[in-house]
A and B are shown apart, each in its own frame.
Chain A
Amino acid sequence: MSVDIKTVERIAELAKLQFNNEAKEKIQADMNKMLDFVGKLNELDTEGVEPLIYMLDEPQRLRKDEVNGQVTQQEALKNAPDKDSDYIKVPKVIKQ
């Protein structure tokens, strides 16, 4: 399996990112290297082996329905690149 420029562009679009042609080619090369690296695993015969999803055998311990651990509004907005007194501001995402 190898990654073509179209795939790079599709993944960039899904991640809402934009690249020039030079960058796209570099990303294509990097992604192919990564795929080759994990492609090594294809050499193993995994016929009849259940996919491993969880590293632990434990079931999830559920949480009681109780409120705690909240942060203040000031703390919540602290890292936002743009904000007003109440909200995080982002560029308009729909056309009016």
Chain B
Amino acid sequence: MSSIYDKYEAVIGLEIHAQLQTKSKAFAADSTEFGVTPNTNVSPITLGHPGTLPRLNEKVVEYAVRLGSAVKANITYENQFARKNYFYADLPKGYQITQDKTPICTGGYITIFPHTDNEKKINITRIHIEEDAGKSMHDQDPFNTLIDLNRAGVPLVEIVSEPEIRSSEEAYAYIAEIRKLVRYIGICDGNMEEGSLRVDANISVMPKGSKTFGTRAEVKNMNSLRNVQRAIDFEIKRQIELIESGGTVEQETRSFDAVKGITFSLRSKEMAHDYRYFPEPDLQPVFVEQDYIAKVKNSLPPLPNELYTKFTQELGLSDYDASIIIEDKDIALFFNELIELTNNFKAAANWINGAVKSFLNENALHITDFPLQPKHIAQIITLIEENKISNSLANQKLFPTLIENPEKTAEELAQENNWLQESDDDALLQYVEEAIAKYPEKVEEYKNGKKGLIGLFMGEVMKLSKGKADPKLANKLVREKLEQ
């Protein structure tokens, strides 16, 4: 069944603002710390006092170059700054310092749904440096808007995509990839709820197969990945229904209401802005040299896609295992260290994606707070490989005990607690004989074809040995005895 919605295709471009994790602001030395007393992280520069001069933070350039390198963008040699003029109470100077004609990065791309049939490159138009505005609070006082300037001047990069995104799912994937990337390269915490990563979406619709884009609306205020997806879906539907009922889409800014799940018009057309950009005369240009770019590039940690390729192609992990390991940067780096200490890559992946992650989830911990180090996990893997401990004993006893005693080695603990497996044939043989002697009639049934009964004897052997019997060897011995 085809509906009116199937006749149209959506065209989406995203602008993402990422707050850079610097100690001090972009053009002033006040602290960028989040959540402090209002109007305390301020200086005469931030407050826009006359006679003050901005000066760019070197980390801001470094972080922008890191991001540009990670998305394979061109880095601009001569960077100029510009004033974007508008009057608003949370913008003390009456202009925002930004980059207009010389964004620090141009080009580059993000790959969405990597390593799947839906893999697609979304090209990046530009990435530029700018400063954040202060915060306006409209709902705390019935008669006034309250202004907190702590955020004013915090460094941002704005990442502008080409209008190549075609659905809310693609938009979601694009933002998720960017968020993962900025976290990997350590330039932004990626927290959408707290506003350190903010997304504006330019959305239009056109008849399928058309080459001409429709008029776009810009949607703001979507403070989670889920809300971006909801807002885009609503906006696409709204525009199609508007066109189908004979109306036209207005070029306007809309806001997303997460409670009602709708977008609504924020500014009318006659109030359209004119930012009157002009070069910022207080800031000399910044030149980014090739050797500087090379240095920054070399300092980048391994990127998620590089790790994916390494894990699948060099280590032979499955797409599934590799994909979930790279999802979180710190888990990926933990794993990357672990595989330097063991050659059993599959076991390493199983430990990380199994016992380690469930421990972290149960205790609401991040891997950076995990008491064990990669070497501990490697020790456990080695003990299992050498048949010194059974997999289940390692999981149920050794792993939790090691977490309590991370100053010891896995082998020390296993020894102290008498968990080391008995692969000594004589001791084991005795348990096997005992187990078989206990159920003479079951032995008959086994011999008559009920092979499943082997489990019963194995259970008995494990019980007698208090779980320390090497299951492989025990299984072999039980079989041999029964078939005699």
- Please state if A63 and B42 are interface contacts (CB–CB under 8 Å): no
Cα-based distance from A65 to B143 in the complex (angstroms): 39
Flag B142-156 by CB within 8 Å of A: 1 or 0 each. Answer: 011111110000000
Interface size class of B (residues with CB under 8 A): 35 or more
Q: A92 and B147 in contact (CB under 8 A), knowing A14-B86, A71-B42?
A: no
- Please state if B37 and A73 are interface contacts (CB–CB under 8 Å): yes
Our pick among B57, B137, B283 for the contact of A87 (Cβ within 8 Å) is B137
Flag B270-299 by CB within 8 Å of A: 1 or 0 each. Answer: 000110100101011111000000000000
**Which of chain A's residues has its CB closest to B20's CB?**
A65
Cα-based distance from A64 to B136 in the complex (angstroms): 29
SS class, residues of chain B in contact with chain A: loop
Tell me if B40 is interfacial: C-beta within 8 Å of chain A. Answer: yes
Q: A61 and B31 in contact (CB under 8 A), knowing A14-B274, A16-B87, A66-B23?
A: no
Our pick among A16, A64, A69 for the contact of B58 (Cβ within 8 Å) is A64
- Please state if B58 and A54 are interface contacts (CB–CB under 8 Å): no
Cα-based distance from A95 to B89 in the complex (angstroms): 15
- Please state if B146 and A14 are interface contacts (CB–CB under 8 Å): no
- Please state if A88 and B149 are interface contacts (CB–CB under 8 Å): yes
Cα-based distance from A62 to B57 in the complex (angstroms): 6
Q: Which residues of B contact A56 (CB under 8 A)?
A: 284
Chain A nearest CB: distance from B449 CB in Å?
A: 76
Tell me if B44 is interfacial: C-beta within 8 Å of chain A. Answer: yes
Q: Which residues of A contact B24 (CB under 8 A)?
A: 63, 65-68
Q: A62 and B38 in contact (CB under 8 A), knowing A53-B80, A76-B149, A82-B144?
A: no
- Please state if B39 and A60 are interface contacts (CB–CB under 8 Å): no
- Please state if B143 and A92 are interface contacts (CB–CB under 8 Å): yes
Cα-based distance from A67 to B281 in the complex (angstroms): 24
Cα-based distance from A64 to B61 in the complex (angstroms): 11
- Please state if B87 and A70 are interface contacts (CB–CB under 8 Å): no
Cα-based distance from A61 to B286 in the complex (angstroms): 8
Tell me if B41 is interfacial: C-beta within 8 Å of chain A. Answer: yes
Tell me if A90 is interfacial: C-beta within 8 Å of chain B. Answer: yes
Q: Which residues of A contact B286 (CB under 8 A)?
A: 59-60, 62
SS class, residues of chain A in contact with chain B: loop
- Please state if B40 and A70 are interface contacts (CB–CB under 8 Å): yes
- Please state if B284 and A59 are interface contacts (CB–CB under 8 Å): yes
Cα-based distance from A53 to B284 in the complex (angstroms): 9
Flag B128-171 by CB within 8 Å of A: 1 or 0 each. Answer: 00000000111101011111110000000000000000000000
- Please state if A73 and B274 are interface contacts (CB–CB under 8 Å): no
Chain A nearest CB: distance from B154 CB in Å?
A: 13
Chain A nearest CB: distance from B54 CB in Å?
A: 9
Cα-based distance from A89 to B152 in the complex (angstroms): 16
Q: Which residues of B contact A70 (CB under 8 A)?
A: 29-31, 40-43
Q: A67 and B30 in contact (CB under 8 A), knowing A14-B87, A14-B274, A88-B147?
A: yes
**Which of chain B's residues has its CB closest to A85's CB?**
B38
Q: Which residues of A contact B143 (CB under 8 A)?
A: 92
Flag B82-101 by CB within 8 Å of A: 1 or 0 each. Answer: 00011111000000000000
Tell me if B28 is interfacial: C-beta within 8 Å of chain A. Answer: yes
Cα-based distance from A36 to B172 in the complex (angstroms): 53
Tell me if B56 is interfacial: C-beta within 8 Å of chain A. Answer: yes
Q: Which residues of B contact A61 (CB under 8 A)?
A: 55
- Please state if A65 and B80 are interface contacts (CB–CB under 8 Å): no
Tell me if B111 is interfacial: C-beta within 8 Å of chain A. Answer: no
Our pick among B38, B41, B59, B284 for the contact of A58 (Cβ within 8 Å) is B284
Chain A nearest CB: distance from B61 CB in Å?
A: 7
Cα-based distance from A93 to B146 in the complex (angstroms): 10
Q: Which residues of A contact B262 (CB under 8 A)?
A: none
Tell me if B462 is interfacial: C-beta within 8 Å of chain A. Answer: no
Q: Which residues of A contact B59 (CB under 8 A)?
A: 65
**Which of chain A's residues has its CB closest to B40's CB?**
A73
Q: Which residues of A contact B58 (CB under 8 A)?
A: 62-65
Interface CB pairs A-B, < 8 A, 27: A14-B85, A14-B86, A14-B274, A53-B80, A59-B287, A60-B284, A63-B24, A63-B58, A65-B57, A65-B59, A66-B23, A67-B30, A69-B30, A70-B40, A70-B42, A70-B43, A71-B43, A73-B38, A73-B39, A73-B40, A76-B39, A77-B39, A89-B141, A89-B144, A91-B144, A93-B88, A93-B136
In the A-B complex, the 7 residue pairs with the smallest Cβ-Cβ separation, listed nearest first, are: A87-B146, A62-B58, A60-B284, A65-B59, A88-B147, A90-B89, A89-B144
List 7 extra interface pairs beyond A53-B279, A76-B47, A90-B147, CB under 8 A: A63-B29, A63-B58, A65-B59, A67-B23, A67-B24, A76-B39, A92-B144
